[in-house]
A and B are shown apart, each in its own frame.
Chain A
């Protein structure tokens, strides 16, 4: 820009030299800020300010009816001794452990099968359908599928001569049932994400591997999997942070029961906020949960070098 105007000055050809670029620089700043303004407003009002306010609220005792009372670190101290809080975190961890390996493995298997067999849009649409439906709808359908008395799964188990199961009604099976519902909903999404990754891998690499005499499993382990790493990191990070925040499915199926077997961390936080009107305590717990998730995300990115692709 600067070089341009010097050049014009020397040329003495243009009617308004030098002055115009300076004016435009000012205009550019103005336009820039004006165009960012609506989003900036949204950012300040619904992200930055509430984040700071949540931190502030976490140091108070507040039931929304009376003004908040500053209590210092009391909420955080209480949280250290709160068995239900730690149990909620632990359950979220267990839930992620049940959920993610199976969901990722099934999604990957489905992607490899689709990559090999079909490009059919119908197949892709069917595979994606569960993810396009709300958690609530999906949970409702599975509540019916897994009904202890009338559910189709129990009818099928009975037909096979197996024993009927309580699923959501059993303290031992409820968490696994919630996990199964989410695996069912996300399996196809994960598969399509992997499929996009698979189709980015140059075919020449497979041909080279075949020429080298690599078997199918070897090719998968040494070529496919390493090149899928960026997609894998994306899937792992989003599904782990998503798993830690599971809420919708629990509300519809178990409401935290039976015997608190599915009182995961977010349902517990929401219960404290709107059930017991403990805004301060709920905020303190959400701060700790946020710290856990950010730490996990950063760690996962570091460990798996998410930003680099071996393809580039």
Chain B
């Protein structure tokens, strides 16, 4: 992925008002643009509305109306069902499939998985990136090229040997097995941080060296504190990837004990017999699974948007 080599850690363009000059030039264009934007926003939001309607709909009312957005018989029963607050008999009576989904456990596992991947991967990759950016040692160039080249390896090549390795370690259905391949190394993370470290002015580090600090001390005490913004950007990108990762947990933790949210939702759906989905239950579970992402957007929306935009900028 050589195009990434040209990524410069330049800041995103300054935020400001849209340029007035261009606005006045394209009068008719503005109406077209508003219509297009409105339509695409509607298409983006509509499925969420449809999801919410089923989540809040009484199971029996689902089959009796052609409503799209408004529940005909609003209820919280579906949420109670998927959170395991009702007895199995009540559940079946309400049209549940008898399938179980432990959403709270899955959310907890997802959180643990994401935090571990983010913290371990970024710690390990930041050290390597600093060494690649600042220290001179034999093998540096080759090693860096290999690391970056590893981004070209698709997961579909690695999953069989990695699965066998994790199985041989006895780590199937464990958090360790899920985290391990992501924990130490990511070509993207190393590359991303090295680019940033290269852009830091050397003066501070040189001053610290003259004061007798070791390279590792400089990395910890000088460089890392200066890097909180790019570290946060990377944490968000890695975190989104880990939170949404389905393939590897699906391969290595197929059991019920260590489900993360994506695999738990998939298992919940797979348990429903063909032809009669427990739609209200599934959509209630989906609604609950959206909440953490919404919280992230509310808490750090600007940083999330900027981080994602940054991942493709050159």
Please, how many angstroms separate the alpha-carbon atoms of A210 and B21 in the complex? 10
Whether B75 is near chain A, meaning CB under 8 Å from some CB there, is no
> Do A196 and B309 touch (CB < 8 A)?
yes
Q: Which B residues are in CB contact (< 8 Å) with A31?
A: 131, 135, 137, 214-216
Q: Are B135 and A28 in contact (CB under 8 A)?
A: yes
Complex contact A193–B312 (CB within 8 A): yes
Bound complex: CA of A279 vs CA of B164, how far in Å? 10
Q: A184 to nearest B CB, angstroms?
A: 7
The stretch among A5-13, A41-49, A73-81, A171-179 that forms the contact with chain B is A41-49
Proximity string of chain A (12-42) to chain B, C-beta cutoff 8 Å, 1 when within and 0 when not: 0000000000000001110111111011111
Instruction: Report the separation of the CA atoms of residues A28 and B251 in the bound assembly, to the nearest whole angstrom.
Output: 41
CB-contacts of A162-216 with B (<8 A): 184, 187-189, 192-193, 195-197, 199-200, 203, 206-207, 210, 216
Is A131 in contact with B40, judged by CB distance below 8 angstroms?
no
A117 within 8 A of partner (CB): yes
Contacts of A32 in B (CB 8 A): 131, 135-137, 140, 215
Smallest CB-CB separation from A123: which chain B residue?
B41
Q: Is the CB of A200 within 8 A of B13?
A: yes
- Chain A proximity of B262: nearest CB distance (Å): 4
Majority-rule SS of A interface residues: helix
Q: Which residues of B contact A57 (CB under 8 A)?
A: 160-161
Determine the distance from Cα of A231 to Cα of B3 in the docked complex, in whole angstroms: 10
Stretch at the interface among B79-87, B92-100, B225-233, B296-304: B296-304
**Contact (A245, B37) CB under 8 Å given A32-B131, A46-B162, A140-B265:** no
For B13, list chain A residues within 8 Å (CB): 196, 199-200
Contact-residue size bin, chain B (C-beta under 8 Å from the other chain): 35 or more
Does B112 lie at the interface of the complex (its beta carbon under 8 Å from any beta carbon of A)? no
Q: B277 near A147 (CB under 8 angstroms)?
A: yes
In the complex, chain A residues whose CB is within 8 Å of the CB of B40 = 106, 109-110, 113, 127, 187
Report yes or no: B137 in contact with A117, Cβ–Cβ below 8 A.
Answer: no
Given contacts A28-B215, A137-B289, A216-B26, contact A290 B313 (CB under 8 A): no
Closest to A305 in B: B3
The residues of A that contact B273 with a CB separation of less than 8 Å are none
Indicate if B130 sits at the interface (CB-CB under 8 A).
yes
> Which residue of the partner chain, among B125, B184, B250, contacts A46 with CB atoms under 8 Å?
B184
A29 lies within 8 A of B308 (CB): no
Residues of A near B26 (CB, < 8 A) are 116, 216
A64 contacts B127, CB within 8 Å? no
Select which of B5, B137, B162 is within 8 A of A50 by beta carbon: B162
**Within the complex, which residue of B12, B41, B47 is in contact with A142, where a contact is CB–CB below 8 Å?**
B47
Cα distance, A96 to B99, chains bound together (Å)? 35
Given contact pairs A117-B34, A307-B6, A35 touches B127 in the complex (Cβ within 8 A): yes
Residues from chain A with Cβ under 8 Å of B283 in the complex:
140-141, 144
Of A38, A136, A193, which is in contact with the most chain B CB atoms at under 10 Å from its CB? A136
Cβ-closest chain A residue relative to B16 = A119
Asked if A116 contacts B143 (CB within 8 A), the reply is no
Instruction: List the 8 closest A-B pairs by CB distance, nearest first.
Output: A42-B184, A42-B185, A32-B137, A50-B161, A193-B312, A39-B128, A306-B3, A32-B135
Chain B residues with a Cβ under 8 A of chain A: 1-3, 5-6, 12-13, 15-19, 21-23, 25-26, 29-30, 33-34, 36-37, 40-41, 43-48, 50-51, 53-54, 62-63, 66-69, 123-125, 127-128, 130-132, 135-140, 143, 146-147, 150, 152-165, 180-181, 183-185, 190, 214-216, 219, 240, 243-247, 250-251, 261-263, 265-266, 269, 277, 279, 282-283, 286, 289-290, 293, 296-297, 301-302, 304-305, 308-314
Contacts A/B (CB < 8 Å), 19 sampled? A31-B135, A31-B137, A35-B131, A36-B131, A47-B150, A47-B185, A50-B158, A54-B158, A109-B40, A110-B37, A119-B18, A128-B304, A131-B308, A136-B265, A140-B286, A141-B50, A155-B66, A247-B247, A273-B160
Interface residues of A (CB under 8 A from B): 27-29, 31-36, 38-43, 45-51, 53-54, 57, 64, 106, 109-110, 112-119, 121, 123-137, 140-145, 147, 150, 152, 155-156, 158-159, 184, 187-189, 192-193, 195-197, 199-200, 203, 206-207, 210, 216, 230-231, 233-235, 237, 241, 245, 247-248, 251-252, 266, 269-270, 273-274, 279, 282-283, 286-287, 289-290, 293-294, 297, 301, 306-307, 309
Q: Other than A43-B150, A145-B47, give 8 A-B pairs with Cβ distance below 8 A.
A: A28-B136, A33-B137, A46-B158, A50-B165, A116-B23, A136-B263, A187-B40, A270-B251
